[in-house]
Structure formats: structure tokens, C-alpha cells
């Protein structure tokens, strides 16, 4: 189980895009990337693009919630974009959609953070 994570800065909004499975082995790397993005030169907001994540477990959810809280405490927005159906289902079952905004497109997520 492996994951690659890309980081793209779009006009002050950072898009973090993991690829693969986000589980107990790979989620710490996502946590490190999100911590680094929020600590360095704080952006206007962060989009976590899950379009290429085929699996997400409770550890991944914990990482997303922790990053959301960290961003919120800094006065920044964090949005999850394009989760695959099975990942979206887990986010809904866990009630994450009631806490973290989830959009169907990364572009819409970026635009929502620029507004």
C-alpha cells in the first residue's frame, strides 16, 4: 500500500492531492504534508483533492479532521474535493460532511476558498 502526494499552489490556495490508499501506513505522510502546508507560508486555504484516492480509513479521517481544525484555528478554510464514491460514503457515514465542506470539483473548492 503506497501513496504519492502532490502539492499545487493556485493563487494562494494550496491543493494537496494524494494518490492511492490512505490508511494507517500512508495517512501519516498526508498529515506531514498538511502540517507543512499550514506551517510554512500559510495559504488562503487548503483543498484536499481525493479524486485519486481509492480507499480511506479512520486514520485518514482523523488526519483530515485534525488539519481542518488546525486551519480553522488559523482562520483558514479547508475543503475536501472529488472523493471517490466509496470514500465519500465513508465520509458521510462518519459525519465528516457535517464538519468539513466536501465539493464535487477541485476547481469549485479552490474558488470557494478565494471568495
Q: What is the mean pLDDT of residues 9-25?
A: 93
Q: CA 33: distance to chain centroid?
A: 10
Q: By percentage, how much of the chain surpasses pLDDT 90?
A: 90
Q: How far apart are CA 105 and CA 107, in angstroms?
A: 5
Residue spans of the domains in the chain: they are 4-114
- Cβ contacts of residue 114 below 8 Å, gap of 6+? 11, 12, 13, 44, 45
What is the pLDDT at residue 10?
Answer: 85
50 with 83: CB under 8 angstroms? yes
pTM, to two decimals: 0.94
pLDDT of 3: 63
Q: Does domain 4-114 have CATH number 3.30.750.24?
A: yes
User: Could you read off the pLDDT of 65-76 as tens digits, one per residue?
Assistant: 999 999 999 999
pLDDT over 70 percentage in the chain: 97
Integer Cα distance of 93 and 98 in angstroms: 10
Amino acid at each position: 500500500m503506497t501513496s504519492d502526494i502532490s502539492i499545487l499552489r493556485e493563487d494562494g490556495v494550496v491543493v494537496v492531492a494524494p494518490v492511492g490508499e490512505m490508511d494507517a501506513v500512508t495517512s501519516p505522510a498526508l498529515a506531514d504534508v498538511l502540517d507543512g502546508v499550514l506551517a510554512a507560508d500559510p495559504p488562503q486555504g487548503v483543498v484536499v483533492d481525493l479524486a485519486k484516492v481509492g480507499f480511506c480509513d479512520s486514520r485518514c479521517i482523523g488526519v483530515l479532521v485534525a488539519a481542518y481544525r488546525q486551519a480553522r484555528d488559523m482562520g483558514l478554510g479547508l475543503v475536501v474535493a472529488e472523493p471517490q464514491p466509496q470514500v465519500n460514503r465513508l465520509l458521510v457515514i462518519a459525519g465528516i460532511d457535517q464538519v468539513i465542506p466536501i465539493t464535487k470539483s477541485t476547481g469549485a473548492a479552490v474558488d470557494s476558498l478565494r471568495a
